[in-house]
Structure formats: structure tokens, C-alpha cells
Amino acid sequence: MSNPATARPVRVRFAPSPTGELHLGGLRTALFDYLWAKHTGGTFILRIEDTDQKRYDPKSLESLMRGLRWLGLEWDEGPDVGGPHAPYIQTERAAIYQQHAQKLLDSGAAYRCYCTAERLDEMREEQRRRKQPTGYDRRCRHLSPAERASQEAAGLPSVIRLAVPLEGKTTFADLIRGDITVENRQLQDEVLLKSDGLPTYHLAAMVDDHLMEISHVLRGEEWLPTAPIHKLVMEAFGWELPVLVHLPVILDPSGKGKMSKRKKVVEGKEFLALVHEFISAGYLPDAMFNFLTNVGWNYDPEIEIFEREEAIARFDVARINPKASALPYEKLDWINSQYIRQLTPAALKEQLIPILSKQLKIAPAKLQNDARLDILVPQIQERIKRLDEAIGWIDWAYKTADEIVYEDPSLLLGRKLDAAQSIAVLEDGAALLQTVEPFLPDDIQAAFRERAAAMGVSAGGYFGPFRAVITGKKVSPPLFESLQALGREEVLRRVARGIEVLGELT
């Protein structure tokens, strides 16, 4: 076989089990598969390992495919695009696994086990009582032909187990970790085919990897303990094990534990874990692509932002760092903010509409034609790191005057002005706003500055009360664009209400 680090073209597969939402760690695995395939001019395959029918969730399958496509990871072969090794859903390949399991039975590399679940539970309980390692005691491996025939005649259900060598060692190679050797006596006779006729991962993945001509298997390091079993299964068939690359664990932001499959709060800050959560939070796919590429691999220590094609050109599985590392969420936020800034205002508006539609409970089509967004989006583009943060900057524009809450009425006071003086500013500005034409930012600002000077008030002192009365916030988008977004009539309604509130302070 050619040097595994430079083999071209490669065939890699992302083979998720659709039993839950796609996790960021799984997305990273798929991304590395995709990068390696594209780098070598090879093939990226999506294979669905759905043999755990008790936990199978069709919504999970839809979600994971949606998550992959969100990141731009289009597969060359898979359940919905077909390919020369279809089908790509394991439950549709059950007959293939049964045939191969029979081959292992015929060769003596596997055997039927008739132990009931109750018997296995009792066995493990006894092992725990004796403080022994738990594991199958190989009772059925040593049945005589007559005993085996008796079990068959009784029609007892059975599973098929791998007959692991009882002596010696098994060595497998990992591309980024080197050779790893395990004593065979430490291994279990794992189940290969369940009593319902469906395979376990140990059989199905090996058969599929061989038949689909997979050259490299990229998977999480939690699969390292099973690699000796997989080497033995491949050897039992007389096949060659694909090049193994066990990817490093992604730790939570504290660096003290494996990243959870649920949201986690660290030092008061919420950290996401599932791909659909990152999508809902408003991370851009290009930003996530850039970020995840550098989790366990590094494009260039001196370059933070790079294009997809640049990453594909440089990617090499041999340069993956096997050491676990904490997920730098702050870096993700920063990268996302850079990609947000690169968008045109029109493109940013398109990205914001699905999120704002849910937050504001306004139909996307209505937001599409909303002039307020056209005005405000360019004003907040430099201020947000995630798309879901936009609502905090513009929600006031989608409320009525009565819905604006002034939690601290003192916010309505102009700089170095008391309540009476601030009321005078608002009344003066209100009269001005009724006549200024056109009602555009530059024209409003020029008129406000002229009136501030005439009243002997600083520009900040004059502007401040208007910012507060229209938004109810300390910090908001630029004042004059905000006035334009609201429109003359709504601004005057809010100013009138602000004057009422200030009147209570005098």
C-alpha cells in the first residue's frame, strides 16, 4: 500500500448513527473527512449506521444531513445521491452482513451464543460481586457439537460473537499515534450479529469499509479501544484494515472535561454543543468551517482567516495533533464577527431574516420588504458577533411607543442637564422634527446641531434624550439612522411619551 499520508485519491466516509442531534465533534470529523477527500481528489461518502433501531430517530437523520449541508459538506456518495456501492443505509444492507457473518461462522472465526439477557445480567453481577472485570465468560464458545445442536433444535435465539484469539497480541497502526499493541486476553468476544439479524458496529462498519473501498477511517479517539477488535475482524475475512486516524477529543472551554452533548454553563456563560444550536445562534457556515478546521489541525499559526480552497490545498491528516484541546469559543465569536463584516448589507439582511423572524414573530416575507431593516442592518454590522445578537440592537424599532420601557427614567436626561432642561430639549427637537425635510440622517443631524448651539447645549446633551426616548436603551445604533428607521410620526409619539416620563421627575 502507498504511504498513507500521501495516498491519492482517498475514499473516506462519515458514518453517523442517527440517534440524536449532530454534535460539534461529529461535524469536525465530517469536515476532516471532507478536507482530506478534496485535498487528494478523492471521494467523500456519507453512510448512515442505523442498526440501533431502538434509538433510531428519523428527525435526527434529517437534522444531521441539514447540518452537513449547512457547512457546505456535500457528499459524493450517499443515501440521497446514490453511488456505486449503494445502498448507503445499513438497515438496507442487512442481508450482506448476515452473509458475511455466516462466512465467519463457517471459518471458525465466530460462534453462536445462546445466552439470554437474564443469564448475562447474572454473570456480570457475580463478576462484580467477586470484584472481577465484567465481560462475557465465553460459555457458548466451548459448547460441544451435541450441545450446540440441542440449542438449535430448541429454536433458541442467538447472537454471533467474534472468537478472539485467547493468546498473543494484536497490533494496529494509527497514522497520528503510531503502533498500538493490546494483549488479546484483554479483549472480549464482541457480538457481531444481534438476534434480530442486524449487525453491531464491529461487523457492519468493517464489511462496509471493505466493500466501499474505504482507504482512511477518521473517527474520534473514543473508538481506540475497539480498534483491535476491528483489526481481528478484518484479518478473519482476509482483508486489509483501512488507515486509522483517531481524532483528538474536543474539551469544554474549561479544558477539564470532554465537550458535553448539551449546553454547558462555564463561569456564567452558556456554551453550545449541538450543530443546530450554532445555526440558530447565528454562526455563519464559512466562519464555522474556518474555526473547526483549526480544532486539532492548524492551517497556519500566523493566519486566522482563510478561504475554504486554501484549507483544502494545505490539509494533511498526518499533521493532525492527537492532543486534546479546549474549544476556544471566543475565537469562534471573533471569526464569526469577521465574516459578518465581510458581508454586504443586503447579504447580512438575508442571513438575519430567518433568525429575526422567529425572535420578532414576523413572517420572513414581511421582513424582506421592511425598510427599517434596510436602514438599521448597516448600522449594527460592526457591532455583532453572532446573528442572534442583532435583536438586542433593533428590537425597539419593532415595538410601539407604549411598549418601550424606561427602567431607569434618569437615562432620559441629557448630559449635564436636569429633567426640566431635558424636557425643553425634547420639546424643541419635536418641533424641529415636524418640519425637517427630507427626513434623512444628514439633514436631521445638521438641524439638531444648529438647535443645540442655539440653546447653548452640547451636541451630546441634545442628542442623548432622543436616543433614550426612542430606544429605551443606553446603547443603540446611531441616532439619526434610528430616527429615519422609525419615521417621523413614530418618533414624535415616543418623544411625547418621554416628555411625560420626565415630567414625573420634575
* pLDDT at residue 2 in the model: 41
- Give the DSSP letter of residue 420: H
Q: Are 437 and 456 a contacting pair, CB within 8 Å?
A: no
Q: Are 248 and 296 a contacting pair, CB within 8 Å?
A: yes
Query: How far is the C-alpha of 233 from the C-alpha of 419, rounded, in Å?
Result: 82
Average pLDDT across the chain, whole number: 94
Q: Are 119 and 171 a contacting pair, CB within 8 Å?
A: no
Query: How far is the C-alpha of 355 from the C-alpha of 34, rounded, in Å?
Result: 28
Q: And the C-alpha cell for 51?
A: 442498526
Q: Phi and psi at residue 160, in whole multiples of 5°?
A: -110, 125
Query: How far is the C-alpha of 472 from the C-alpha of 309, rounded, in Å?
Result: 45
Query: How far is the C-alpha of 12 from the C-alpha of 213, rounded, in Å?
Result: 9
pLDDT per residue as tens digits for the range 220-275: 999 999 999 999 999 999 999 999 999 999 988 777 777 766 656 555 567 888 99
Catalytic residue among 261, 264, 331, 399: 261
pLDDT band at 464 (very low <50, low <70, confident <90, very high): very high
Instruction: Say if pTM beats, i.e. exceeds, 0.85.
Output: yes
Fold of the 264-347 domain: Glutamyl-tRNA Synthetase; domain 2 (1.10.1160)
pLDDT per residue as tens digits for the range 76-125: 999 999 999 999 999 999 999 999 999 999 999 999 999 999 999 999 99
Cα 36–chain centre separation: 20
More confident of the two residues 470 and 269: 470
Q: Are 259 and 292 a contacting pair, CB within 8 Å?
A: no
What's the mean pLDDT in 144-162? 94
* pLDDT at residue 259 in the model: 74
* pLDDT at residue 327 in the model: 87
User: Is residue 16's pLDDT more than 80?
Assistant: yes
Fold of the 351-503 domain: Arc Repressor Mutant, subunit A (1.10.10)
Query: How far is the C-alpha of 60 from the C-alpha of 224, rounded, in Å?
Result: 25
* pLDDT at residue 1 in the model: 37
What's the mean pLDDT in 41-70? 94
What's the mean pLDDT in 332-346? 97
Known catalytic residue: 473?
Answer: no
Half-sphere exposure of 23 (CA within 13 A, CB side): 19
User: Is residue 3's pLDDT more than 70?
Assistant: no
- Angle between helices 479-486 and 371-380 in degrees, nearest 10: 170
* pLDDT at residue 474 in the model: 87
pLDDT band at 280 (very low <50, low <70, confident <90, very high): very high
**Which of 3-17, 391-405, 458-472 has the weakest average pLDDT?**
3-17
User: Is residue 297's pLDDT more than 60?
Assistant: yes
* pLDDT at residue 253 in the model: 78
Query: How far is the C-alpha of 56 from the C-alpha of 17, rounded, in Å?
Result: 8
- Give the DSSP letter of residue 437: S
* pLDDT at residue 326 in the model: 85
pLDDT per residue as tens digits for the range 305-335: 999 999 999 999 999 999 998 888 999 999 9
Tell me what percent of the residues of the chain surpass a pLDDT of 90. Answer: 89
* Domain residue spans of the chain: 264-347, 351-503
Task: Find residue 103's DSSP bridge partners.
Answer: none
